[in-house]
Amino acid sequence: MNSATTIDLPEAETEALPQEHQSEASAAVRLDIWIRDPEVVAALETFPQGRKREEFALGALKIGVLALRQAQGCIDSDAVRMEGDRLIANLATHLTTHQAQITAQLAGTLREYFDPDSGRFNERVERLVGQDGELEQVLRSRTEASVNALRTALDPYIGEGSKLMELLSPGESNMLIGTIKTSVDQLVAAQQARLLTEFSLDNKSGALARLVAEVSTQNGTLTANLQTSIQDVVREFSLDTEDSALSRLVKRVELAQRQISAEFTLDSEQSALSRMKRDLTGLIDSIRKDSAAFQERVVATLEAMKARKQESFASTAHGRDFEQAAYEFVEEAAQDAGDVPERTGGSTGLIRNCKKGDCVVTLGPDADAAGARIVCEIKEDANYDLAASLQELREARENREAAVGLFVHSRRTAPGGLKPIARYGNDVVVVWDSEDAGSDVFLAAGIMVCKALALRKGSMGAELAADFAALDKAIREIERQAGYLGDIETSSHTIKSGAEKILKRVESMRSVLEKQIETLDQQSHALRVLAGGGSPG
């Protein structure tokens, strides 16, 4: 089968070549070749007509050309370089692999010999230097042989039957001890005789004779020096000598007395006593002026407060102000506890045309008695005594469908003898002053007691009975403490009398200070008399 194939280098490929290879492409050769070799034709026909067949043909042509050139002895430098690079790369790969294998083998071998836990080297060293090891056994055998030889050599001289053991044997027959005892006795006798010679006055060159002579000489010198020292001391304590220590001391004492007298006299304006008198007088005057001004301010403030209070009480709006203040207090306490307050005094309730019940507090969903209602009556009206208050609460509870009632009396119009807080069944009566923060505790306690009563109303278990017994006890304690608060309140309204007491105290302090100044003046005169020897002027 014959076939013809044309091999061209397309112009598009030439233009797509890189800049450095376009010069080579410009020297391209165009070939129109007919291929008739069956094997080559069969190989070319395996590729479809077009670019792939041409690329295969060009590659085969290049291989053939290179093979012919190699056969002719011409080796392409590029091919040599590529082959060399490939050879070097393969060699580097083999060397790297070999190096890794050598490293692994070396590490394994070193680990086998030098591993701290299981290495042969450590095991061998342990067997060599360990207890009862080979080295110890060798040294022990060598040492034992030397010790035995040394013992054999020394036994005749220091052994049990040697002359040295005979000398050192205990008992009276010990020759060494006898010799030492004789030598010590002789040495002690010689030292004793020498000491007696040194402490004998017959021996003029002995230590005792020299000591007696030295003491006699020093005693004479000490006596003379002591006499001289005594005369010097007497001269220092004599007033006849101007520069003696006693004369200088007397002069300094007299100077100090004069200075003290000058400081504690009122005759000199610059003395310390005069300056202190002026300062105390100025301080007393300042205190008196400040106290008088303070008293005037306190009196004026009290008069203004009294006038405003009387004017407020005389107005018809004071009752509405009290009701508004009490409702705001109840509203704030309810909202803080998660309850719902509602002002109901302007609307009718369950009873036809009845508006009793100034406000209602509905316990919130978090309360144990959620949905329970507390009705509040707030009055600043002297017509409501205790019986009328409780009757008003009963009607208000019925009108507002409430389980518990709270009646808030104004302290100004509350009936006499009414306790600050008291419980009557399911009703609580509180006396509150909107202008006195000290009474807020009673209203707050009344609200808490009402909530507890609402809880008991909804659940009357035996456990709650004990709790409400404690609650009643707490209410009685609050009533008792309220009396103490009344005493405190009474004391707090005596500012004017307190100011008068302050003025009296200032006058008393002023008179005491004046007396002390006079006493100090008298003492200073007496001190001057003692210092100068004169008489008080």
Question: Two tokens at 198?
Answer: 């040194």
Scanning the structure block, which residue is given the tokens 């009294």? Answer: 306
- What's the pLDDT score for residue 462? 44
Q: Where are the alpha helices (DSSP H) in 315-375?
A: 317-336
CB burial of 33-60 (b: ≥16 within 10 Å; e: otherwise) equals eebeeeeebeebeeeeeeeebbeebeee
Whole-number Å distance between alpha carbons of 196 and 190: 10
Q: How confident is the model at residue 522 (pLDDT cuts 50, 70, 90)?
A: low
CB 130 within 8 A of CB 124: no
Q: Are residues 298 and 319 in the same domain?
A: no
User: Is 478 a domain residue?
Assistant: yes
Q: How confident is the model at residue 392 (pLDDT cuts 50, 70, 90)?
A: very high
Top pLDDT among 19 and 272 is at 272
The DSSP code sequence of 459-502 is ---HHHHHHHHHHHHHHHHHHHHHHHHHHHHHHHT-HHHHHHHH
User: Is 378 a domain residue?
Assistant: yes
Instruction: Express each pLDDT in 170-210 by its tens digit.
Output: 665 666 677 777 888 888 888 878 777 777 777 777 777 78
Number of compact structural domains in the chain: 3
Q: Are residues 480 and 516 in the same domain?
A: no
Q: How confident is the model at residue 13 (pLDDT cuts 50, 70, 90)?
A: very low
- What's the pLDDT score for residue 536? 44
Top pLDDT among 438 and 433 is at 433
Instruction: Express each pLDDT in 472-492 by its tens digit.
Output: 666 666 666 665 665 566 655
Q: Are residues 419 and 528 in the same domain?
A: no
The 8 Å CB, 24+ separation contacts for 343-347 are: 344/400
pTM reported for the whole predicted model: 0.37
Q: Are residues 355 and 296 in the same domain?
A: no
- What's the pLDDT score for residue 192? 78
Question: Two tokens at 474?
Answer: 């707490």
Q: Are residues 325 and 471 in the same domain?
A: yes
- What's the pLDDT score for residue 453? 84
The domain in which residue 36 lies consists of: 3-75
Q: Are residues 437 and 394 in the same domain?
A: yes
User: Is 534 a domain residue?
Assistant: yes
Q: Is the pLDDT of residue 388 over 60?
A: yes
Which range, 136-145, 197-206, 273-282, 420-429, is most confident? 420-429
Q: Are residues 280 and 392 in the same domain?
A: no
CB 474 within 8 A of CB 441: no
User: Is 500 a domain residue?
Assistant: no
The DSSP bridge partners found for residue 375 are 360, 405
Instruction: Express each pLDDT in 398-417 by its tens digit.
Output: 999 999 999 999 988 998 88
Q: Are residues 452 and 533 in the same domain?
A: no
**What whole-number percentage of the chain has pLDDT above 70?**
73
Top pLDDT among 504 and 36 is at 36
Domain finish residue from 41, 75, 109: 75
Q: Are residues 441 and 321 in the same domain?
A: yes
Q: Are residues 465 and 407 in the same domain?
A: yes
User: Is 103 a domain residue?
Assistant: no
DSSP class of 414:
P
User: Is 273 a domain residue?
Assistant: yes
- Over residues 117-123, the mean pLDDT reads 74
User: Is 474 a domain residue?
Assistant: yes
Whole-number Å distance between alpha carbons of 450 and 376: 10
Domain finish residue from 25, 41, 75: 75
Question: Two tokens at 354?
Answer: 């009845």
Q: Are residues 384 and 476 in the same domain?
A: yes
The CB-side HSE value for 9 (13 A sphere, CA atoms) comes to 16
Scanning the structure block, which residue is given the tokens 């050598």? Answer: 102
- What's the pLDDT score for residue 362? 93
User: Is 333 a domain residue?
Assistant: yes
By three-state DSSP, how is residue 375 classified? strand
Q: Which residues contact 429 (CB under 8 A, 6 or more apart)?
A: 386, 389, 390, 407, 409, 418, 419, 421, 422, 423, 446
Instruction: Express each pLDDT in 132-154 by its tens digit.
Output: 777 778 778 878 877 887 777 77
Q: Are residues 429 and 282 in the same domain?
A: no
Whole-number Å distance between alpha carbons of 86 and 55: 24
Whole-number Å distance between alpha carbons of 456 and 372: 11
